[in-house]
Amino acid sequence: MNDDLLERYKDILSSKNYKLTSQRNSILQVLIENKNRHFSADELYKEVAKVNPDVGLATIYRNLEIFCRLGITHRLDFDNKYKYYELSVEGNHHHHLICVKCGNIIEFNDQVLEDFENEIEDFYDFKIIDHRIKFYGICEECRKEK
């Protein structure tokens, strides 16, 4: 299953004439092994280094940019100074609950929102192709503390 994914991404790259370098392979590998995790560029850099130390940070950035453009990954903005990236795996669409106390981020899936989206599309004449939702609040742990 993971191998299938890897092959699919490699196909996408080849079909767009991007070379299959060992660096790209390692980056994809790490992303796939952590399907439901999001990485800052630096976090990914360090994680990739464990598998393949010959990958520079600039290469991470350059490839994340390409991967996002090809739809392999997408970028997330939380409210800190980093940008985060995660694999765009279908059936893994999820959003984030951000605790304003401890900063912890909980992921959750949603199948709802379809009706809501349709309403908006009609009203604003805007064809929606994706959405990101962030809920801010206080997590279970932090509510216990006080």
Partner DNA sequence: ATCGATGCAAACCTTTTGCATGCAG
Partner DNA sequence: CTGCATGCAAAAGGTTTGCATCGAT
Closest listed residue to residue 18, CA positions, set 52, 62, 61, 76? 62
User: How far is the CA of 82 from the CAs of 77, 87, 111, in angstroms?
Assistant: 8, 17, 28
146 binds, among DNA, its own copies, none (CB under 5 to 8 A by kind): none
Residue 120, CA distances (Å) to 1, 36, 112, 130 in order: 36, 28, 14, 13
Write out the residues near its own copies by the rule CB under 8 A: 75, 77-79, 97, 99-100, 106, 108, 110, 112-113, 116-117, 119-121, 123-140, 143
State which of residues 2, 7, 11, 22 lies at the interface with DNA (CB under 7 A).
22
Give the nearest distance from C-beta 109 to DNA in angstroms. Answer: 26
**Is position 34 an interface residue for DNA (rule: CB under 7 A)?**
no
